[in-house]
Chains A and B, each alone.
Chain A
């Protein structure tokens, strides 16, 4: 027997939303850390570093995220008997592997967007590769990578709903459970959608705040008029 959707049903949904936030925050931060390392490796003078990062990025980008989730959750315990991964840890590993590859490409693109003259000027001053990267290239590349990076994290929040297949009770899974109890998918998933929207909008606001603080934000609603039009 179904019962009507009521305010009590918000509690499991809010718990699911909180788990989604935790999942995306941890895998997002780890994905950014590994992504920056891979992205820098992809543009480094070392051939080996470039090869390793290129192979990783190409492989991961060519595999659906659901397959990565299944592989980590079901495959790893088979490959390493005795190793029992917690559902949350499995999800974090899968999302981090996925995020790192995409962040790496954003980092590579941003590094390559910094004008070549900047690199030459740094070299002409005697800065070695690491000093050049740390004090000249990455500070400029960071500003370029923020808008696509924020877009990717928003995508990651939505893609995190796929970990529902592992049984982890994140927001989508919580929505499913509530629907099974109430038989009211419209109200339930409307609330779930609003919760996803709030999380994504929060990420978007954080990105815009960073852009404003670093002076790179352009308000699309206040673009200057095109000359001559």
Chain B
């Protein structure tokens, strides 16, 4: 962490704070296509990134934007794009491509009206790749995660994702924009700069990694095996999670992102009333913090999964919870009538009711 003076507290919209965090992280290229609630991030960077010496393009499609970011990143620059839902779906090809040709970039997924866990963690591209995905619960965490993602992208030479939502993008919060240092990174000895033409040492960024006739590369078989092994190794070292009150809890509530913020609040209330409830929050959606979840649910007789969808993260909870029979789904699809944000299920009293309904008659004992 830096030893500089503490930055001032500034009132900022979440999307703007994320944009400023990207600039702090040295992002020099951004391309995006308007799509709510991601749009404010594009608008902020359209103004702020050129002022910081970078390039922001309002591209003509999501496919173009993510491929522009890939091209920019192939030169060694820190590059990013973003969208949500359908737009992220369009970007799957290029995200897989970047994973397979080992090009770092950050994808800002400011999701819209449900928690698109499957899309973020399973992806829709081809090949044995995974996408490191961080799901901040609030804007201050998003500022940290944005910078961490640029670091992790460069460290692992892979595209990464920030998973956000309308609350994250649109809430105005007091934030401190502090530049974070996550440690040394390997040099980008793979970046294209055009200077090696005719030397026999010219470089390629290529999913098939065949190399040159005079200097063959590993080829698709060995290269893709290496990529799969790389993600298996990342799985072991980049899991992140947070939990509270789980040691003696007989009920643990699992949630991520903004939903987890609500759960944290409700669980604190229930604890104060004597219920032995705890919460567990995956911070990395991938790699999913399975071992930590297993530990946190060790004594739980009820593992309540609260997510705003038809049940997606619950698949990973089923894989790792200490007692699979203890798992119950207390979330659901809940969409605002406009289609553009969450519906009535994202509400502390509603969450409280659902948790209480899952507790045994007469709780607390």
A binds B: no
